């Protein structure tokens, strides 16, 4: 667990160091059963929007809530909520996870939804 926490801390440190314009951060968390995404304004310390496979509109019609299809739905949903919150440009925080599989599917769906990384 210590290695994962160190990798996560390293990713966040580099994001904050490179994020000079204080863009909104899209943070991703994945568990064995679900995937979560939230838009965080670090300058104010507030969460602007969140989406996950626990949401009823996303969970309906999904056979499995922990696969690439589910992650794509969460990505599309968070992009829609970002547009409603008038957020166009974000910084993608993969949270120490490798950028492939579910994390990549979520990011690609958010890009298709109109978010700029």
Whether residue 24 contacts residue 38, with contact meaning beta carbons closer than 8 Å, is answered with no
The residues, any chain, with a CB within 8 Å of residue 48's CB and separated by 6 or more, are 24, 39, 40, 41, 82, 85, 87
Q: How far apart are CA 40 and CA 49, in angstroms?
A: 8
CATH 3.40.50.720 is right for the domain spanning 2-112: no
pTM of the predicted model over 0.85: yes
Greatest alpha-carbon span in the chain: 41
Whether residue 71 contacts residue 105, with contact meaning beta carbons closer than 8 Å, is answered with yes
Residue pLDDT tens, the chain, 117 long: 588 888 888 888 888 888 777 889 999 999 999 999 999 998 899 999 999 999 999 999 899 999 999 999 999 999 999 999 999 999 999 988 999 999 999 999 999 999 998
Structural domain boundaries of the chain?
2-112
């Amino acid at each position: 667990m210590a290695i994962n926490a160190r990798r996560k801390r390293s990713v966040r440190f580099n994001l904050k160091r490179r994020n000079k314009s204080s863009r909104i951060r899209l943070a991703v968390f994945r568990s064995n059963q679900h995937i979560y995404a939230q838009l965080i304004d670090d300058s104010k310390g507030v969460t602007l929007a969140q989406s996950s496979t626990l949401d009823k509109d996303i969970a309906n019609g999904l056979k499995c809530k922990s696969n690439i299809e589910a992650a794509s739905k969460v990505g599309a949903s968070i992009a829609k909520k970002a547009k409603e919150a008038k957020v166009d440009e974000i910084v993608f925080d993969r949270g120490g996870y490798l950028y492939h599989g579910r994390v990549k599917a979520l990011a690609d769906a958010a890009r298709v939804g109109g978010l700029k990384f």
